[in-house]
A = this chain, B = another copy of it.
Amino acid sequence: MNRVSIAGATGYTGIELLRLLVRHPSVRIVSLTAESHVGRNIAEVAPSLAGYLDHTLVPLDASIGQDCDILFLALPHTASMAHVPELLQGGCRIVDLSADYRLHDSQVYGEWYKTEHQNPELLKESVYGLPELHRSSIGSARLVANPGCYPTGVILAAAPLIQTGWGDADSIVADCKSGVSGAGRKLSQTTQFCEANEGVSAYGLAEHRHAPEIEQEISRLAARDITITFSPHLMPMTRGLLSTVYVNLKQEIDRDRLHEHYEAFYEKEPFVRVLPPGRFANTHFVAGSNFCDIGVQVDTRNRRAIITSAIDNLMKGASSQAVQNMNLMLGLEETVGLDTPPVFP
């Protein structure tokens, strides 16, 4: 049995991790931290888990890194960074769900997160935890930076087009629609029910921190520096993230040919489902699962590909992808504990 712990266990990604880990056959949950609930039982703070867990919440300290094999960090951005070196020294391996180790360039990190990175050397070591692109590196990594929800959806949608060079990487526009849980469990005006319900809004247009992460991975695929337009939107629903990705085509390619290419590209991926031609992605059909559904369309009048991808932002966009990374790190079957169908309706 592998020992796993979670720092930040009472946020939405922490609770989702627990939902997956309590029935994962190869792990045992050791410690759960939550600064604001120290001393309380996890089931009090997350009543959905009553009957599954009886852990008392503890503060995050160095010992956490000594008592487990895999440590999930579900802490806020910039808060995660400070703890990682000490925790790694304890001997554990880390899956960090924050953004702190996703960007390999500390200067880019500084620009977008408005703070200097405290461990730039670890940025070189950390692996970007998107298994579809970095599977083998993840397996041997000590520190895996779990991708953001938006980057997961956008990169998986765009990668096949960019890798072949069919799509013009400089033309990418990613228009993304996220459920409210993407904003986390902390209180805010924007995420109050009456503010978010029955309304759709844009936010962070051209300024959102997930842009550089997408650009890092797209640039790697394009083998040159790329910037993209990335537009997040808030949807009146709890879970789900739909990305509509626009890419100008450098040559005429029809939908069916593009579809074949996507099917071939993701043929061996257990968690990417390329939809039949003519179908577009719908977050409803991936809810509660680790799937990314991808729909392929070509706007032939404008020679532009329109790729839609749907994920559950708390799952493939966060917690289940973290478990997928853990499976790879532990040498387990990649799908263990993740083989549950989406919940519909």
Q: A-side interface residues toward B, CB under 8 Å? A: 12, 15, 18-19, 22-23, 46-52, 173, 175, 177, 179-181, 185, 187-189, 191-203, 205-206, 227-229, 231, 233, 235-240, 242, 244, 246, 273, 275, 279-289, 291, 293, 295, 297-302, 304, 306, 308, 310, 314, 339-345
Cα of A67 to Cα of B339 in the assembled complex, Å: 27
Residues from chain B with a CB closer than 8 A to the CB of A196 are 193
Copies in the complex: 4
Residues from chain B with a CB closer than 8 A to the CB of A284 are 48, 195, 198-199, 201
Cα of A246 to Cα of B341 in the assembled complex, Å: 36
Check B191–A300 contact: CB distance below 8 A: no
Check A308–B194 contact: CB distance below 8 A: no
User: Closest Cβ of chain B: how far from A310's Cβ, in Å?
Assistant: 8
User: Closest Cβ of chain B: how far from A55's Cβ, in Å?
Assistant: 14
Check A283–B192 contact: CB distance below 8 A: no
Check B198–A198 contact: CB distance below 8 A: yes
What are 15 of the A-B contact pairs (CB < 8 Å)?
A48-B289, A49-B341, A187-B188, A191-B192, A193-B197, A195-B284, A198-B198, A198-B240, A199-B282, A205-B306, A205-B308, A229-B299, A229-B304, A235-B235, A235-B236
Check A288–B288 contact: CB distance below 8 A: yes
Check B206–A306 contact: CB distance below 8 A: yes
Check A48–B306 contact: CB distance below 8 A: no
B15, B173, B227, B342: which contacts A344 (Cβ < 8 A)? B15
Cα of A164 to Cα of B56 in the assembled complex, Å: 36
